[in-house]
Amino acid sequence: MSKNSYVIGFPRIGEKRELKKVLESFWAKDCSFDEVKKVASELKKRHWNYQKDAGITYISSNDFSLYDNMLDTAFMLNAIPKRFKHLKDEELYFAMARGNQNSVAMEMTKWFNTNYHYIVPELSLDDKYSLNSSKILEEYKEAKELGIKTKINLIGPITFLGLSKRVDRGDTFELLSKVLPIYEKLLNELSTLDDSVIVQIDEPIFVKDNEPKVLSLIKPVYDRLGTISDNLKIIVTTYFEHSNEATKVLTKTPIWGIGLDFLYGEENTQALEEIANSGKKLIAGVVDGRNIWKNNIQNTLEILANITKHIKKDNLLISSSCSLLHSPLTLKYEQKLDSSIKEWLSFAYEKLQEITIISKIFFSGLESLDSNEIKIYEENINANHNRKNSTVIHDKDVQKRVNSFDKFSRNGKYEERIKLQREILAYKDLATTTIGSFPQTPEVRKSRRDFKKGEISQELYEKAMKDYIDDCIAFQEECGLEVLVHGEPERNDMVEYFGEQLKGYGFSQNGWVQSYGSRCVKPPFIFGDISRPKPMTVDWITYAQSKTSKIMKGMLTGPVTILNWSFVRDDLPRSEVSKQIAVALSDEIDDLQKAGIKIIQVDEAAFKEGYPLRTNKIKEYEDWAVRDFKISVSSAKQETQIHTHMCYSEFNDIIKTIEAMDADVISIETARSGNELLKIFKEVGYKQEVGPGVYDIHSPRVPSVEEIVKQINLLLEVLPKEQLWINPDCGLKTRKYEEVKPSLINMVKAVKQIREER
């Protein structure tokens, strides 16, 4: 075993997504809950053993969850929303997560700036909390029976409250006096488990710009939690950014250790002196827990050497930067990856070895490595060397072109462009369109799958896609939509589709990462300089255009979204990678318009997801994100109309940034909140055209004509008809044709009715 090696948390979904499969089978009533428990136990056992066998000193329990750790924490506190109170056990737990016949599920939202989503606890002043510690105790005992003494993971009270919502309106922190005693009681119980018990309390909310009011809670909370019992050692961990304001306070509380992320929060080094003076342990996050690249062990040893200028070696623990939950599980099933690319990668399982080796070298020198570890260490040096020099990664031509690319915006001001466009395109006010995708039928999925596997010919595949496009167009014409789309049947996913055609992109076979509950995503990864060997969408779109006399809208995914939904190389700033994608997209737009396409939509569904956690870093992000969106559309002629689409509606903070992107038309999601979210567009005097969603596509419900008329009238109270487009909230790919057809027919009827009235 290595000395002082530490893992914040481990993925739980399983290397073959066993947890996903058993949960979904249980929900479908195809197996019993005992079966779920059995698989869960096997997974926990396997994951503990992986860590033990890799020589990790500090291994977690209670990092496992059947759905989500925030939900588990709500469960632990018995913070059960009223609508679920009559249920119990697993029925209750999964109803809270997923809803049931009678009650909607609890809300779900993104965990900081990751693609993991947690369940938002619902609290209220008249709640009565009580401790339910059984899961935590059982997991500890389960590991102990296997001979593994774990540290126990908890989500801290301040983060828990900060990420919850009050159903009775008001401040969640008002509930601290109710929640804290439960945590105290829990720690008391935990202290009886063993002679000495370590508890890791995650407080990632400390990496945000917290108000003084929130910061003032840290000292009293951790003074109390730190003095529950002499045999308890409390570690408070943060990740994804620096947490200097909180660290300063924590050093003055009786906790045992502080865990900090030195990769995504380099500024954490500013707190080293204070930590050193406090004599506390420092859990140094130096192995990237949310990316897929092999650690550069030599660089990491340098980071550690710098840390030891302040902190005594004996007080250091070597750790992952955050829970490994955010990286895929293991490389062992990757058979198709090019071996030179595979040698650059490291998933959760492989990261365990890196942590051990780094800690061994750091504490006991190279000579302490066994022969297998020496081999891994040497491979590590080689891989990093090769990565620096590989021609697969570094493409001189791309670099030259991107560095000298200086077309940062389109020709012509918006006012001039829109005049030209409206002349040429001749669309009416309240023009109707959709966001791009139409339902992905089982047949279309099957054709794509069969083609990928080589089971059907290119010809057959193309025919299947074209048949779909034909039908899709026929329907749109029939129902009277004005700006048409081809329906995106050829796309499995809006990022993967482009990744597959761009040079510099790689794909794993099994690199699944939990997104929420049983759902996983398999993000493609950017390993090298990005370029576009040939047009990516032109054939499909021109085919579609040839089938209709109406305007066919070209459909691309924007640079920032492609970036934010991929694993990104760590040897180049994100802003540069994004610029490379943008330049490639600008060529695509040029080709599309040369092929006669007059409207092109560049989706930026994930634009907001890339926002930094710290306010002082927002401007930098916005600057390059806007720059790259504008680069990608810079080739568009004045008369080519550029649309963009964003899947949310909270624009208050970013409206000026959205305006600066200078798209001619933006479609957004607003249906669920009437015209509320549109108001900001009016307030700031937003000039460009806007397509606020008029019905919610997340529900199978078909909206009536009257309903949509009402919704459009609400929109018209805010913006004039000259500025509005009418469309659904988002793409229709997850819906069924039976739902989509009547909904769109009603949407078109509603517009017709309104045009007649006005």
Q: Catalytic residue numbers?
A: 698
Residue 709 makes contact with ligand GLN by CB under 6 A: no
Min dist. Cβ of residue 491 to ligand GLN (A):
8
Nearer to ligand GLN, 72 or 628 (CB): 628
Q: Cα(182)–Cα(136) distance, rounded to whole angstroms?
A: 14
680 contacts 640 by C-beta, under 8 angstroms? no
Each residue 605-624 as x (binds ligand GLN by CB under 6 A) or -, in order, gives x-------------------
Was 436 annotated as part of a binding site?
A: yes
Nearer to Zn ion, 97 or 730 (CB): 730
Residue 437 binds which of ligand GLN, Zn ion, none (CB < 5-8 A, kind-dependent): ligand GLN
Q: Cα(736)–Cα(488) distance, rounded to whole angstroms?
A: 15
542 contacts 589 by C-beta, under 8 angstroms? no
Q: Which stretch binds ligand GLN (CB under 6 A): 124-132, 188-196, 432-440, 507-515?
A: 432-440
**In terms of C-beta density within 10 A (0-12 exposed, 13-18 middle, 19 or more buried), how is residue 749 classed?**
middle
Nearer to ligand GLN, 77 or 435 (CB): 435
Q: Which stretch binds ligand GLN (CB under 6 A): 657-665, 701-709, 729-737, 744-752?
A: 729-737
Q: Cα(506)–Cα(22) distance, rounded to whole angstroms?
A: 29
Cα 146 vs. chain centroid, distance in angstroms? 34
Was 500 annotated as part of a binding site?
A: no
Give the other-Cβ count within 10 Å of 134's Cβ. 10
**In terms of C-beta density within 10 A (0-12 exposed, 13-18 middle, 19 or more buried), how is residue 743 classed?**
buried
Give the other-Cβ count within 10 Å of 445's Cβ. 12
Q: What's the chain's length in residues?
A: 758
153 contacts 200 by C-beta, under 8 angstroms? yes
Residue 555 binds which of Zn ion, ligand GLN, none (CB < 5-8 A, kind-dependent): ligand GLN
Nearer to ligand GLN, 529 or 609 (CB): 609
Tell me the number of residues near ligand GLN by CB under 6 A: 13
130 contacts 78 by C-beta, under 8 angstroms? yes
Q: Which stretch binds ligand GLN (CB under 6 A): 198-206, 299-307, 431-439, 502-510?
A: 431-439
Was 110 annotated as part of a binding site?
A: yes
Nearer to ligand GLN, 504 or 731 (CB): 731
Was 488 annotated as part of a binding site?
A: yes
Residue-by-residue DSSP string for 491-552? -SSTTHHHHTTSEEEE--SS--EEEETTEEE---EEEEEEE-SS-SSHHHHHHHHHT-SSEE
700 contacts 404 by C-beta, under 8 angstroms? no
316 contacts 3 by C-beta, under 8 angstroms? no
162 contacts 106 by C-beta, under 8 angstroms? no
Which one of 645, 657, 681, 708 is in contact with ligand GLN (CB under 6 A)?
645
Q: Which helix (H) or strand (E) holds 600?
A: strand 599-603
Q: Cα(247)–Cα(615) distance, rounded to whole angstroms?
A: 18
Was 367 annotated as part of a binding site?
A: no
Min dist. Cβ of residue 730 to ligand GLN (A):
5
Residue 731 makes contact with ligand GLN by CB under 6 A: yes
Residues 485, 489, 495, 497: is their CA dihedral positive or negative? Answer: negative
541 contacts 597 by C-beta, under 8 angstroms? yes
Min dist. Cβ of residue 733 to ligand GLN (A):
5
Residue-by-residue DSSP string for 670-684? -GGGTTGGGHHHHHT
Which one of 9, 162, 436, 524 is in contact with ligand GLN (CB under 6 A)?
436
Residue 729 makes contact with ligand GLN by CB under 6 A: no
Residue 647 makes contact with Zn ion by CB under 5 A: yes
Min dist. Cβ of residue 740 to Zn ion (A):
15
Residue 8 binds which of ligand GLN, Zn ion, none (CB < 5-8 A, kind-dependent): none
Was 479 annotated as part of a binding site?
A: no
Residue 555 makes contact with ligand GLN by CB under 6 A: yes
Structure tokens belonging to residue 126: 């008249």
Residue 494 binds which of ligand GLN, Zn ion, none (CB < 5-8 A, kind-dependent): ligand GLN
Q: Which helix (H) or strand (E) holds 117?
A: strand 117-119
Residue 603 makes contact with ligand GLN by CB under 6 A: yes
- Binding to ligand GLN, residues 167-206 (CB under 6 A): none
Residue 328 makes contact with ligand GLN by CB under 6 A: no
**In terms of C-beta density within 10 A (0-12 exposed, 13-18 middle, 19 or more buried), how is residue 756 classed?**
exposed
- Binding to ligand GLN, residues 494-523 (CB under 6 A): 494
136 contacts 190 by C-beta, under 8 angstroms? yes
Was 211 annotated as part of a binding site?
A: no
Determine the Cα angle at 497 with ends 441 and 434, to 5°.
55
Q: Cα(749)–Cα(743) distance, rounded to whole angstroms?
A: 10
Was 437 annotated as part of a binding site?
A: yes
- Binding to Zn ion, residues 387-406 (CB under 5 A): none
Give the other-Cβ count within 10 Å of 527's Cβ. 24
- Binding to ligand GLN, residues 451-490 (CB under 6 A): 488
- Binding to Zn ion, residues 694-733 (CB under 5 A): 730
Nearer to ligand GLN, 217 or 494 (CB): 494
Residue nearest ligand GLN, CB atom distance:
731
Min dist. Cβ of residue 281 to Zn ion (A):
45
Residue 541 makes contact with ligand GLN by CB under 6 A: no
Q: Which stretch binds ligand GLN (CB under 6 A): 38-46, 679-687, 726-734, 735-743?
A: 726-734
Tell me the three state secondary structure of residue 61: strand
Was 189 annotated as part of a binding site?
A: no
Min dist. Cβ of residue 729 to ligand GLN (A):
9
Min dist. Cβ of residue 110 to ligand GLN (A):
14
Residue 437 makes contact with ligand GLN by CB under 6 A: yes
Min dist. Cβ of residue 399 to Zn ion (A):
33
Residues annotated within the binding site for Zn(2+) are 645, 647, 669, 730
Residues annotated within the binding site are 17-20, 110, 115, 435-437, 488, 519-520, 565, 603, 609, 645, 647, 669, 730
Question: Binding residues for ligand GLN, per CB under 6 A?
Answer: 435-437, 488, 494, 555, 603, 605, 645, 647, 730-731, 733
Residues annotated within the binding site for L-methionine are 435-437, 488, 603
